[in-house]
Structure 1
Amino acid sequence: MGLKHAVEAALKNPDRSHRKLWATREGVESLDGELPSDFPVEWAQPADLARLVAKDAPHQGLVLECAPLDDMFLADVLDGDPARPVVVLDQVTDPHNVGAIMRSAAAFDACCIVTQDRHAPPESGTLAKSASGALEVLPGSRGEPRPRTRGNRRSGLLAHRPGWIGRIDARRGPSHRPGRTRARRRGDGMRHNITQHCDAIAKLPISEAMESLNVSNAAAIALYAAATRETE
């Protein structure tokens, strides 16, 4: 992983299996908290660290090697607070977008994020950089949960559809739980077999001068709409 915030969050996560930290002296001094005395650190120069990470994942003097987090079972996550939304992504393949969506989902207290087994990026330094620590606090699950689970409703997000997301009632029965928000992707939008499993399809009220928004921006707005609707 690159980026200081992602490394700090991973080091503080007790569910992470840490292997080694490559770092400059300045990088370690910048950490929020001290490393355990027995933590494996290999001191390096900035140029050496740059060769360990992708060009779009600046290291800031820190590169952490660690094992990927285990996927969560969706049923276990849903046993928690029923008022928290679940974000489901359909064929969002850019790790920058997925990381940014994770950051917004964590900011708006989403329950978890669900990606596909295929057509979804694996955990990486680029994704962790974009998530800026959210990768460590937001549970993740892979798969396509289509059957209805305990009465929850699903809201899909597509351009050129009537009804905007703030007016869609995506709540279930007595608990008034926000529905799962499926973010629109560029191109053809959500696949037909996915839209068939949505209870409602909505859009964002953007100007006709713009055809659509980046999927991470759209997801952030949808999560805000769900959060504010919950408190109205």
Structure 2
Amino acid sequence: MKIYKNKNYNNNQFRKKNTKTLRSLIKTPVNQNYMIWGKHALEAAISNKNRKIIIIYHTPEMTDWVYQNLKNKKRLNIKLIEVDRKSLDENSMSSPNQGVLAEVEPINWISIEECVNQMTGNVCLVLLDQLTNPQNIGSILRTANAFNVAGVVVTKNNTPTENGLMARAAAGAIETMPLIRITNLSRTIEYLKNMIFCNWFRKNGSENIKNCSGNLRTALVLGSENLGLRRLTREKISVSAKIPIAVQTESLNVSNAAAIALYVIQN
């Protein structure tokens, strides 16, 4: 086992010859810190200067890869611990980790007011009404990033905080797409209306999504996986939109619906 700061690190200096089982060395994150895993997620985190990385755990064969990424981004002050594959597998929720795992702090994103003030032209926000599945939120972050959405807004209560499953599903987008937490969604919708936003949602609506214009500032509001939109949220919506689907299909996953809706808005 080796624990080190890689201040004077080179490709071969810290290679481990006899890796032991070091499960006890991978400590449970404290406070709101959490683990991310996988090369894509870690590479994106290293590239994000706003992301504080506490420690990186890696297998011996990933030594060079970790070093090169840290060196390229001039982040050679991050603590590294070399561990075995079993240790990583037991701390990445049975998800493929590619030999790398890192403890990180959550990103302190901007407020909804700051986000709106920075917007120019006709842009889109995505508002999520108490989604509970972190992987769905991560997938929506990835889609929002692909369609140049200004930010994804979630409620502070009844919504998962940043976590490893969310980061994994986001495939790096959690580092670049603002995840904005608000206290009251209905009040936020009212605020956006006053800022000349058109608000609409996608489930059980009366308007075909094809007829919804994307030539405005748009707030796409999506309901939770099981309950959909809450009553107060529905009452604040300007346009109720639906996605026509085959009769034999009951519904779409919320992340799939978000992708379709954002494509329509952008086109």
Q: Which amino acid aligns with 1:222?
A: A
**1:225 alignment partner in structure 2:** 264
Q: Compute the TM-score of the two structures, normalised by the length of structure 2.
A: 0.78
Gapped runs of 5+ residues in structure 1? Answer: none
Q: Compute the TM-score of the two structures, normalised by the length of structure 1.
A: 0.89
Whole-angstrom CA distance in 2 between matches of 1:44 and 1:134: 27
Q: What is the deviation of 1:119?
A: 1.4
**2:38 alignment partner in structure 1:** 3
**2:55 alignment partner in structure 1:** 20
Equivalent of residue 238 in structure 2, options 199, 218, 225: 199
Whole-angstrom CA distance in 1 between matches of 2:231 and 2:165: 30
Whole-angstrom CA distance in 2 between matches of 1:212 and 1:220: 14
Q: Deviations over 1:191-222 (max 9, x none)?
A: 11001111100110111111110001001100
How many pairs align? Answer: 221
Note closer, same or farther for the CA distance 1:21–1:85 as it changes in structure 2 (3 Å cut): same
Equivalent of residue 156 in structure 1, options 171, 176, 201: 201
Deviation larger for 115-124 or 25-34: 25-34
Structure with max Cα Rg = 2
Work out the percentage of aligned pairs sharing the same amino acid.
28
**2:116 alignment partner in structure 1:** 78
Name the one with the larger strand percent: 2
Maintained 8 Å contact 1:185/1:214: no
Note closer, same or farther for the CA distance 1:149–1:28 as it changes in structure 2 (3 Å cut): farther
Q: Which amino acid aligns with 1:15?
A: N
Gapped runs of 5+ residues in structure 2? Answer: 1-35
Name the SS of the counterpart of 2:70 in structure 1: coil
Name the SS of the counterpart of 1:189 in structure 2: coil
Q: Which amino acid aligns with 2:108?
A: D
Whole-angstrom CA distance in 2 between matches of 1:21 and 1:32: 11
RMSD (Å), alpha carbons: 1.7
Note closer, same or farther for the CA distance 1:149–1:16 as it changes in structure 2 (3 Å cut): farther
Equivalent of residue 189 in structure 2, options 146, 150, 156: 146
Maintained 8 Å contact 1:16/1:66: yes
Maintained 8 Å contact 2:134/2:165: yes
Whole-angstrom CA distance in 2 between matches of 1:226 and 1:179: 8
Note closer, same or farther for the CA distance 1:43–1:109 as it changes in structure 2 (3 Å cut): same
Maintained 8 Å contact 2:212/2:265: no
Maintained 8 Å contact 2:198/2:219: yes
Deviation larger for 74-83 or 125-134: 74-83
